[in-house]
Amino acid sequence: MAHFSLLALAKNALSGHRDWGPTWRNAAPRKAYDIIIIGGGGHGLATAYYLAKVHGITNVAVVEKGWIGGGNAGRNTTIIRSNYGLEGNTSFYEWSMKLWEGLEQDLNYNTMVSQRGVLNLYHSDAQRDAFARRGNAMRLSGVDAELLDVAGVRELAPFLNFDHARFPVMGGLLQARGGTARHDAVVWGYARGASDRGVDVIQNCEVTGMLRGPDGSISGVETTRGTIQAKKVGMSVAGSSSRVAEMAGLQLPIESHVLQAFVTEALKPLIPGVITFGAGHFYISQSDKGGLVFGGDIDGYNSYASRGNLPVVEDVCEGGMAIMPLIGRVRLLRSWGGICDMTMDGSPIIDRTPISGFYLNAGWCYGGFKATPAAGWCFAHLLATDRPHETAKAYRLDRFATGHLIDEKGQGAQPNLH
């Protein structure tokens, strides 16, 4: 399949770029595989890629009900960061950041990783203390973090509403290595890397049921394109995790909620990195095309509808106007919704299940995109070796029963508040 280099670019320029050919093989399902991964999003394709590349397991199928990258991989706001403070999270997300930093060379694909910085603003003494604590936790784990005072923030983003009467900007926690990446290119790069190594990427193939072996273990899947046998089945279907797990008779500590995001008309370069408002539900960055990409909190009620309601649109725009009044005259181009797997502690699950042969990568809440490389890496490790990867060993399914929760926000078992 097409690979990119200066030579290839020059050669294809001579023929007017008409002969590049497809990027990956659009495979038809075979009868049996060693491993089936349900879900052709970033996570599923990254899992297949690392299974093939790191573990040498290439008899693998990724089955996707629509087209690859058509779910949450295409609906997120493309932010990458590893500014987590709790043990179990910090090292995992940092491993993801390290993989992002080498991803383009590894995949030979321009995923447009841009480390333009992620700045979390604080607006009170208490919030500053909490951010200092999180920044210190990050630095102890070898992650970069810098606590800025108001002068430091002013230098980076002079256009903010520093003297807001209720929520003045007092400073911010900066992770300079954070930033953005091109979400579609991540999907396509992993798809090509997996496909080139022999993985079948099968689109328009919806899983409708599970096959059971004589001992009750999962031995394959029923799909809209026929029955496919497999020794192991892993699912990576954020938003629909409960529905797919139900086919295997498994109930999960997950609720599906809708998260909305927005993009404006394109502007000249304005916003240097990613900026989050610490006193409301608002975060923003600027895409390379120039559109301001922003979002806020989930709508707060269970939903599979892939669209939200107006109160949250209003709430997000109010947050934006509070911290960044200059966006008031920019026109909104589009808004959309994605379905998030909200877990009971706001942290994900990468684990075996009580059902033999059935593996789970789920519960990414509204933060799955940044985790794509490490989630794929760790899920591949789990599928290949039946043991959790060192950096993902806290993401157990049974932690809700044993009490080992990873609750960054400290909200408890209220998924709509995480």
Degrees, nearest 5: CA angle 415-416-418: 70
Binding-residue pattern over the window 328 to 357 for another protein, x denoting contact by CB under 8 A: ----------------x-------------
Taking the least distance from each CB to another protein, the nearer of 292 and 397 is 397
Say whether residue 401 binds another protein (CB under 8 A).
yes
Min CB(315)–another protein separation in Å: 9
Given 302, 318, 335, 336, the residue binding another protein (CB under 8 A): 302
| Alpha-carbon dihedral sign for residues 418, 156, 263, 320 | positive
Say whether residue 303 binds another protein (CB under 8 A).
yes
Min CB(368)–another protein separation in Å: 17
SS3 label, residue 282: strand
SS3 label, residue 391: helix
92: Cα separation from own chain's centroid: 13
Taking the least distance from each CB to another protein, the nearer of 26 and 414 is 414
In 15-86, which ranges are continuous DSSP H helix? Answer: 42-55
Site size toward another protein, by CB under 8 A: 22
Output the CA–CA distances (angstroms, integers) from residue 195 to 21, 149, 287, in the order listed: 14, 48, 29
Cross-strand pairs, 233:
36, 358
Min CB(281)–another protein separation in Å: 14
Closest residue by Cα to residue 382 from 348, 343, 342:
348
Binding-residue pattern over the window 233 to 272 for another protein, x denoting contact by CB under 8 A: ---------xx-------xxxxxx----------------
Closest residue by Cα to residue 201 from 46, 33, 27:
27
Taking the least distance from each CB to another protein, the nearer of 151 and 401 is 401
In contact, 175 and 143? CB cutoff 8 Å: yes
Distance of alpha carbon 409 from alpha carbon 139, whole angstroms: 19
Burial group, residue 25, by CB count within 10 angstroms (0-12, 13-18, 19+): middle
203: Cα separation from own chain's centroid: 20
**Interface region with another protein, contact rule CB under 8 A, candidates 80-88, 154-162, 228-236, 409-417:** 409-417
Say whether residue 400 binds another protein (CB under 8 A).
yes
**Interface region with another protein, contact rule CB under 8 A, candidates 83-91, 172-180, 196-204, 410-418:** 410-418
Given 12, 23, 217, 416, the residue binding another protein (CB under 8 A): 416
**Interface region with another protein, contact rule CB under 8 A, candidates 29-37, 219-227, 279-287, 301-309:** 301-309
Interface positions, 179-218, toward another protein (CB under 8 A): none
Taking the least distance from each CB to another protein, the nearer of 114 and 416 is 416
Taking the least distance from each CB to another protein, the nearer of 292 and 339 is 339
Min CB(410)–another protein separation in Å: 16
Interface positions, 307-326, toward another protein (CB under 8 A): 309, 311
Burial group, residue 11, by CB count within 10 angstroms (0-12, 13-18, 19+): exposed
In contact, 123 and 169? CB cutoff 8 Å: yes
In contact, 240 and 305? CB cutoff 8 Å: no
Binding site for another protein (CB under 8 A): 242-243, 251-256, 300-305, 309, 311, 344, 400-401, 413, 415-416
